[in-house]
């Protein structure tokens, strides 16, 4: 198996991502890497002879910033790491690509260079979230601001397969994000989508309100990219707000201060478990090739876990399964 | 001042709401009450002679459940407490109405019986949220699922006046909920709204992402009822999720257990401060008369604080100020 790794554009720089690659190479001995980034940084890091034979370097220092308008930047910055990486994935014999850089740039270059699967109307950005029971897959989290009911239907189908394969659920429970759990709630598009999903060959369990998503009673949460993005960023904001207020509360008395010291270690673990950025990388579903996006703040360990998730996805041939299922639906 | 209080439909029953009325009557000596609910319950509670002279009872046992479809229920249940209360507010000389029952029923009966102000396209449900600095007003939280840019503009104008008067801000900062802070982000309607608000005579500070709303840099957050509802319920779900995980974390070792005991009191306070249900009652903006909705789980204390908020709103004559401002905008 050969994968392409975009080293640039993450918060911690190319060195961290490359160190993650080096660590992964020790765990997965038959994996080859094409790393795209500055040779000068890569060559500073010592690597085993073993990895040398499995490593290809595409030298570039250019990359797309988070603050750049992605469509414009992808078209203009021909030598940016993500564009070179995507072109390699598209033309050469690679099995997948992972980037920790600008989400917009990964999305746009994926759509423009690798392109969507036949019959897939829109590609979706996914994320895996913790719940009180198992993990849950949320899609779309921002690729498609406005979606028709047909697009949402495809998200449900793609999410179903992805959840089946990676969450080990035989019949994943699929729900639609809405403002009430009853049938007939929400926008016109959501009402339409509800009736469509009821007749699909998936385990559609109906609407769910965002207050209930953490209960762990669903496996896949389907919504358009606007709602998914609002949801995700509200969770992020809430966690930050609660944690900062907790700090203040625990400074309110001497006994609370002592208590705070005693709970420091489990609280740190809790904070980590609530941070979805820690959940490695997630695929962009619906593209012709496997494209994973890891969080920009990923450290070495997160890079390793991201690459491993991608290899698992590739091994399970999830993209082909999605392609077949979508094709079936369209015929 | 005379206010109407709907005693029915809350989680804790008519007695709790009426006890809140009794407590308020001791604090506000020139306030008269019209309470709508079962006489049998009301008469069981002893009241001062002083209140007797200021109390009118509309006897009914019927009310609208949270689970009922509000439009249907309001039309059918002519003797339900909220319908009788709204009719009193509309026809008699009352200054405001507060209910702790079904939000949908309050909204629908308000729209059908009291009606919208002239020139107001839609009435909005508001809520006041805590932030790291001051409080913030969010509207709409669920009355209007889909909104045009003109409706969102009116929400901004109404929110501006409400914030000016109740948050004591001379020039409240108004922001639009979006998935990016830059101009040009989001749906077509949000882009339109952005350009309209830029030219309004308000302190429009642009788009804000939901992850940043708790920083306390804005006073009024404008969005349609679908997004507001998702936002609010995600906060609720996140608080619940974090708190339940924290409990688990704090049982993980003996020292953590001891720590947990020591922080019990500040943590309880924190939980309370994060619970927006504790923030008393909020107005429905854009109706011809003052209508407040308190949370269904309100206890006696929350009832008192809700009524006091409403009296403050009435005293400041906020409805007239909104009416004038909206009229000005339309001419």
Nearest CA in chain B to A263: B256
- Chain A: residue nearest B181 by CA? A67
pLDDT confidence of residue B19: 97
Among B76-80, B114-118, B264-268, whose mean pLDDT is lowest? B264-268
| Residue A331: pLDDT over 70 | no
CA dihedral A74, A76, A80, A82 (to 10 degrees): 10
**pLDDT tens-digit series, residues B206-263:** 999 999 999 999 999 999 999 999 999 999 999 889 888 888 888 878 888 888 888 8
E-only strand ranges, B166-272: 173-177, 203-208, 220-222
pLDDT-based confidence at B43, cuts 50/70/90? very high
| Residues of chain A contacting residue B241, judged by C-beta atoms under 8 Å apart | 131-132, 214, 274
Rounded CA-CA distance A14/A39 in Å is 10
| CA separation, residue A217 to residues A160, A172, A300, B49, B245 (Å) | 15, 10, 32, 54, 16
- Residue B100 and residue B17 in contact, taking contact as beta carbons nearer than 8 Å: yes
Q: Which residues contact A253 (CB under 8 A, 6 or more apart)?
A: B265, B266
Distance CA A60, CA A7 (A): 10
Distance between start and end Cα atoms, chain A: 33
How many Å lie between the alpha carbon of B327 and the closest alpha carbon of chain A? 30
For the segment A78-105, what is each residue's pLDDT rounded down to a tens digit? 999 999 999 999 999 899 999 999 999 9
pLDDT of residue A268: 80
Cα separation, B218 vs B175, whole angstroms: 7
Question: Smallest Cβ distance to A245: which of B237, B246, B270?
Answer: B270
What share of chain A in percent tops pLDDT 70? 98
Dihedral over Cα of B161, B166, B171, B175: its sign:
negative
> Which helix (H) or strand (E) segment is B150 a member of?
helix B149-166
Q: Are strands B203-208 and B55-59 parallel, antiparallel or unpaired?
A: unpaired
- Residue B331, pLDDT > 80, answer no
Q: What's the average model confidence in pLDDT over B30-59?
A: 95
Contact criterion met (CB < 8 Å) for A263 and B244: no
Interacting residues of A145 by C-beta distance below 8 A, sequence separation 6+: A224, A225, A226, B179, B186, B187
Output the six-digit token pair for A130: 């913790």
Average pLDDT over residues B68-81: 95
φ, ψ for residue B84, nearest 5 deg: -65, -40
Q: Closest Cα partner for B310 from B103, B150, B165, B154?
A: B165
pLDDT digits (tens, 9 = 90+) for B157-186: 999 999 999 998 999 999 999 998 888 889
What's the mean pLDDT when you consider all of chain A?
A: 93
Count other Cβ atoms within 10 Å, centred on residue B180. Answer: 15
User: How many Å is the Cα radius of gyration of chain B?
Assistant: 21
Helix residue spans in chain A (DSSP H) = 13-27, 39-42, 49-52, 70-76, 81-91, 103-109, 149-166, 188-198, 225-249, 254-262, 264-274, 300-315, 318-330
Mind listing the pLDDT tens digit for each residue in A97-140?
A: 999 999 999 999 999 999 999 999 999 999 999 999 999 999 99
Q: Is residue A266 within 8 Å of B249, Cβ to Cβ?
A: yes
**Digit-coded pLDDT (tens) for A183-199:** 888 999 999 999 999 99
CA distance B53 to chain A (A): 43
The overall average pLDDT reported for chain B is 93
Average pLDDT over residues B126-144: 93
Quick one: tokens of B283? 């107005």
In angstroms, rounded to a whole number, what is the distance separating the alpha carbons of residues A137 and B312? Answer: 46
Which candidate from B177, B240, B262 shows the least CB-CB separation from A259?
B262
Confidence at residue A246, expressed as pLDDT on a 0 to 100 scale: 82
Nearest to B97 by CA among B180, B216, B2, B223: B2
Residue A243 pLDDT grade (very low, low, confident, very high; cuts 50, 70, 90): confident
CB–CB contact B259 A255 (8 Å): no
What does the pLDDT read at residue B277? 62
Q: How far is A143 from chain B (nearest CA, A)?
A: 11
């Amino acid at each position: 198996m050969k994968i392409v790794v975009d080293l640039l554009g993450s918060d911690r720089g190319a060195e961290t991502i490359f160190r993650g690659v080096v660590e992964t190479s020790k765990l997965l001995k038959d994996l080859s890497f094409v790393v795209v980034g500055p040779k000068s940084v890569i060559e500073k890091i010592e690597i085993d002879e073993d990895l040398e034979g499995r490593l290809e370097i595409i030298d570039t220092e250019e990359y797309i910033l988070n603050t750049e308008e992605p469509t414009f930047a992808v078209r203009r910055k021909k030598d940016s790491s993500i564009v070179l990486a995507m072109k390699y994935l598209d033309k050469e014999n690679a099995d997948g690509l992972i980037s920790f850089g600008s989400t917009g740039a990964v999305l746009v270059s994926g759509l423009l260079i690798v392109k969507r699967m036949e019959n897939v109307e829109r590609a979706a950005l996914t994320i895996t979230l913790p719940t009180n029971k198992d993990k849950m897959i949320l899609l779309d989290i921002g690729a498609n601001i406005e979606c028709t009911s047909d697009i949402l239907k495809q998200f449900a189908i793609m999410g179903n397969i992805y959840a089946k394969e990676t969450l080990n659920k035989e019949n994943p429970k699929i729900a639609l994000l809405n403002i009430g759990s009853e049938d007939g709630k929400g926008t016109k598009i959501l009402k339409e989508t509800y009736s469509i999903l009821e007749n699909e060959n998936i385990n559609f369990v109906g609407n769910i309100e965002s207050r209930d998503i953490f209960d762990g009673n669903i496996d896949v949460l389907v919504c358009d990219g606007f709602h998914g993005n609002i949801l995700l960023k509200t969770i992020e904001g809430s966690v930050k707000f609660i944690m900062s207020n907790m700090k203040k509360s625990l400074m309110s008395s001497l006994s609370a201060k002592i208590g705070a010291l005693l709970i420091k270690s489990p609280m740190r673990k809790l904070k980590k478990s609530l941070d979805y950025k820690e959940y490695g990388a997630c695929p962009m579903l619906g593209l012709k090739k496997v494209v994973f996006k890891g969080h920009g703040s990923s450290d070495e360990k997160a890079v390793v876990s991201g690459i491993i998730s991608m290899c698992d996805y590739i091994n399970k041939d999830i993209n082909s399964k999605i392609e077949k299922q979508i094709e079936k639906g369209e015929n």
